[in-house]
Amino acid sequence: MFGPLLTRRDFLQLSLASILWGYDGDQGPAHWSTLSSDYHICGDGQRQSPIQIDKTTATEETVSFDYRPMPISLLNNGRTIQETGNDRCSLTLDDQVYNLSQFHFHTPSEHTDGGAPYPMELHLVHRHAETQALVVVGVWITPGLEQPELAVLGQHLPKQSGEQISASAMVNPGNLLPTERTLVRYSGSLTTPPCSEGVTWLMMVNPIEASAQQIEMFHQVLGNNARPLQRPSF
């Protein structure tokens, strides 16, 4: 059953997108650039993501997060689990405000730490209202203590492709950020087609913890949905 917010038109568009690319076989990352002319940057781009993160370049960027609790609105789009954003949640970078469009998950991580992936990675995608410029905050997730916000999300996890679940339960994306917010900033791309460049990445060098059971729950739904590294380091 599809959620009430997923219209027939949305589902048809989602189904078409699912045909165009994926993570396996002839639809996998090695073939993205040939699946559609709109995806040529996936092969031709010069600043593609993800990358190997060099922690020695980490800085304490002046980033101000203004995140607030928002109701659950989760979509399984066949490639990730995505929570719809909220304009009441934003970050400020270089005196510019970027609203939270959505956040989603990858298993295993896409960015690596010294060449080694984490079992899970969170991407919080922000967009500038006027310029449409994107800032993506990346957070590694490592096995440890249970993560409260993931516990809330896990109770409403859509397990079937195309399924959307909305609930009155609240999730605060601010609680998915590490306490110590040292980060690596670089200019890269979307890690999914059309692989558009000019994306500002803020990759947190300190992971957050989630229980092994939580990570496995997400992996069972997501499968392996990580794009391979695009260049060895930044």
Is 232 a member of any domain? no
Q: Please give the average per-residue pLDDT across 7-27, as a whole number.
A: 61
Q: pLDDT band at residue 231, thresholds of 50, 70 and 90?
A: confident
The mean pLDDT of 122-144, rounded to a whole number, is 97
pLDDT for 17: 47
Look at residues 139, 152, 137 and name the one whose alpha carbon lies nearest to residue 113: 139
C-beta neighbour count of 7 within 10 angstroms: 10
Amino acid identity, position 123: H
Is residue 194 in a domain?
Answer: yes
CATH code at position 78: 3.10.200.10
Rg of the chain over all Cα atoms, to the nearest angstrom: 17
In a domain, 73, yes or no: yes
The answer to whether 208 touches 142, Cβ cutoff 8 Å, is yes
Q: For 172-180, what is the mean pLDDT?
A: 96
- Domain annotation covers residue 29: yes
Q: What is the pLDDT of residues 182-213, one digit of tens each?
A: 999 999 999 999 999 999 999 999 999 999 99
Residue 230 falls inside a structural domain: no
Task: Give pLDDT tens digits for 30-61.
Answer: 999 999 999 999 999 999 999 999 998 888 88
Domains in the chain, number: 1
- Predicted local distance difference test score (pLDDT) of residue 114: 85
pLDDT at position 227 over 50: yes
Residue 137 belongs to some domain of the structure? yes
Residue 100 has pLDDT above 90, yes or no: yes
Task: Give the domain range for residue 129.
Answer: 8-173+181-222
Within a domain: 169: yes
pTM above 0.85, yes or no: yes
Q: How many angstroms separate the Cα of 205 from the Cα of each of 52, 117, 139?
A: 12, 12, 8
CA dihedral 162, 167, 173, 174 (to 10 degrees): 180
From CA 151, how far away is CA 213, in angstroms rounded?
10
Residue 174 to residue 157: CA distance in whole angstroms: 19
DSSP codes of every residue in 196-228: -EEEEEEEESSPEEE-HHHHHHHHHHH-S--PP
Q: Which whole number is the average pLDDT over 119-124?
A: 98
**How far, in Å, CA of 40 to CA of 50, rounded?**
17
Q: In the prediction, which pLDDT does 232 show?
A: 53
Q: Is residue 234 part of a domain?
A: no
Give me the pLDDT at residue 60, please.
82
Name the burial class of residue 101, with classes exposed (0-12), middle (13-18) and buried (19+) by CB atoms within 10 angstroms of its CB: middle
List pLDDT tens digits, range 216-226: 999 999 999 99
